[in-house]
Amino acid sequence: MAAEGRRVGVIGAGMVGVCTASYLQRDGHSVFLIDPGIPGEGASFGNAGAFNASSVTPVAMPGVIRKVPKWLLDPLGPLALRWSYLPTVLPYLYRFWRAGTAEKVHAQARALRPLVGPTLTMLRPLAEAAAAEEFVHQRGHLYVYRSPEALAKDGLAWTLRRENGVVADEFDADELRQLEPTLSREYVRGLLVRENGHTSNPFGLVTRLVDHFRRQGGEVIRARALGFRLEGRRLGAIRTDAGEFPADAAVVCAGAYSKPLAAGLGDKVPLETERGYHLMISDPEVMPRIPTADSDGKFVATPMALGLRFAGTVELAGLDAPPDWRRARILLEQGRRMLPGLAASHAEERLSVWMGHRPSMPDSLPVLGPSGISPDVLYAFGHGHVGMTAAPMTGRVIADLVSGRPAPIDIAPFAAGRFR
């Protein structure tokens, strides 16, 4: 089959789908995006916006499962669980626990670095073509700690980053104050990774990329993909609630909603949603210049075009449960502690909250590559906490595969069948 000029349907118009569609289009394919909603309004809307090349540390780290009871009992803690959801999520938690051995996390970090490391390099050509550079910045990412002991406890994370070539500059309390004067004096250690970047408007960025994709002849179809019509092992069409769309290749980029599409092809993947929240303050009294992660609270403060965003926390409650906005309010309390220059209270109209679904796999690695049954249907989902960062390279990988070239990075660790 001719590798160029194929008709390719990309299912899901979040950051991953849109970067994938953009790279496919650049390769000369005729590309359409399918999404039942507005492009960029999924998880890609409300995240912390970090393009962290250094994000090689899996969520399941050795010992993390032992911290879970303490986190669950702490109403301000970084993890919450709806108890009614426990039976459903148990198999995932078991796999999560099994993934977090010392040996495995080194391998996971090695696998992730080529996917996340070149994030800005791979994003820039897309952002430039789409006139979206104003939303992409490289000011680094700052990790702050309240004690040398807290930093020491994070030792393995820093070992994994350093092993994979991440360079971080360490700051003591005084230096930290000079670097980022808005921060609380409670913080006594900071590590700055200068190669990291961020977007000041994740939704704006996805929207500009989609607009450019359309101008280049790409189509955006408002429909929900339901499955595939295969002719033997070859793809005939993508089935949707608005009828069938013939395609030579399809890419599943439906984020946390990808599981049934893969299951329909016989690939049973343990995809789970790690729900996360954000709270934004418009016109804040103070704003850090550099996106800053509080390692105790596991949240990030990001300077955004529309205000200051605190984003983070994990809630295990599935795709359908209504949001628990107390989780977002916690971020406000923690944020005020991080940045004491913020007012002690804010008028409600200056605050906004959001909840979204991280598409997470137990080993913190995405599913990236061909489906088990057909070489024409490819997967690109499950990027968990790092989907904004990993999206540009994911798009490049898929475009290479669809065009008949070898993937530019090792994708064996991302195989759909690895949990069989």
Ligand X SMILES: Cc1cc2nc3c(=O)[nH]c(=O)nc-3n(C[C@H](O)[C@H](O)[C@H](O)COP(=O)(O)OP(=O)(O)OC[C@H]3O[C@@H](n4cnc5c(N)ncnc54)[C@H](O)[C@@H]3O)c2cc1C
Q: Please give the residue ranges that form the binding site for ligand X (CB under 6 A).
A: 11-17, 34-37, 41-44, 47-50, 224-225, 253-255, 257, 276-278, 311-312, 356, 358-359, 381, 383-389
Distances (CA, A) of 394 to 57, 251, 254, 295, 388: 18, 11, 14, 27, 10
Side chain identity at 240, as an amino acid letter?
Answer: T
Spell out the residues 6+ positions from residue 282 whose beta carbon is closer than 8 angstroms to its own: 306, 307, 350, 351, 352
Minimum distance from residue 4 beta carbon to ligand X (Å): 25
Closer residue to ligand X (CB): 174 or 297 = 297
Is the Cβ of residue 35 or residue 248 nearer to ligand X in the bound state?
Answer: 35
| Measured distance CA(387)–CA(159) in Å, rounded | 22
Handedness of CA 43, 44, 48, 50 (dihedral sign): positive
Residue 255 beta carbon to ligand X: minimum distance, rounded to whole angstroms: 3
Specify whether the CB–CB gap between 22 and 209 falls below 8 A.
Answer: yes
Q: Which is nearer to ligand X, 355 or 401 (CB)?
A: 355
The minimum distance between CB 292 and ligand X, in angstroms, equals 12
- Tokens 């070992």 correspond to what residue? 159
Task: Tell the smallest beta-carbon distance from residue 387 to ligand X (Å).
Answer: 2
Question: What is the closest distance, in whole angstroms, from the C-beta atom of residue 359 to ligand X in the complex?
Answer: 5
Closer residue to ligand X, CB minimum distance, 92 or 277: 277
Nearer CB in complex with ligand X: 12/284: 12
Under 8 Å CB-to-CB from 372, ≥6 apart: which residues?
Answer: 265, 266, 267, 416, 417
Cβ contacts of 405-413, under 8 Å, gap ≥ 24: 405/3, 407/369, 409/114, 409/115, 410/111, 410/114, 411/368, 411/369, 413/107, 413/108, 413/111, 413/365
- For the CB of residue 219, give the shortest distance to ligand X in the complex, in Å: 14
> Based on CB atoms, which residue is closest to ligand X, 190 or 366?
366
Nearer to ligand X, 103 or 367 (CB): 367
Q: Which is nearer to ligand X, 177 or 357 (CB)?
A: 357
Burial 216-251 (b: 16+ CB within 10 A, else e): eebebbebebeebebeeeebebbbbeeeebebbbbb
CB of residue 259 vs ligand X: minimum separation in angstroms? 10
Whole-angstrom Cα distance, residue 56 to residue 365? Answer: 10
Minimum gap (Å) between residue 276 Cβ and ligand X = 3
Rounded alpha-carbon distances, angstroms, from residue 203 to 14, 42, 49, 120: 9, 9, 10, 17
Based on CB atoms, which residue is closest to ligand X, 147 or 194? 194
Q: How far is CA 37 from CA 222, 223, 254, 324, in A?
A: 7, 8, 11, 22
Minimum gap (Å) between residue 123 Cβ and ligand X: 11
Q: Are 137 and 197 in contact (CB under 8 A)?
A: yes
Residue nearest ligand X, CB atom distance: 387
Q: Which is nearer to ligand X, 34 or 122 (CB)?
A: 34
Provide the pairing of β-strand 169-172 with 79-81.
unpaired
Q: How far is the CB of 169 from ligand X (least distance, A)?
A: 20
Kind and range of the H or E run holding 159:
helix 155-163
Question: In the chain, helix, strand, coil percent, each to 5?
Answer: 40, 25, 35
- Whole-angstrom distance, CA of residue 199 vs CA of residue 378: 28
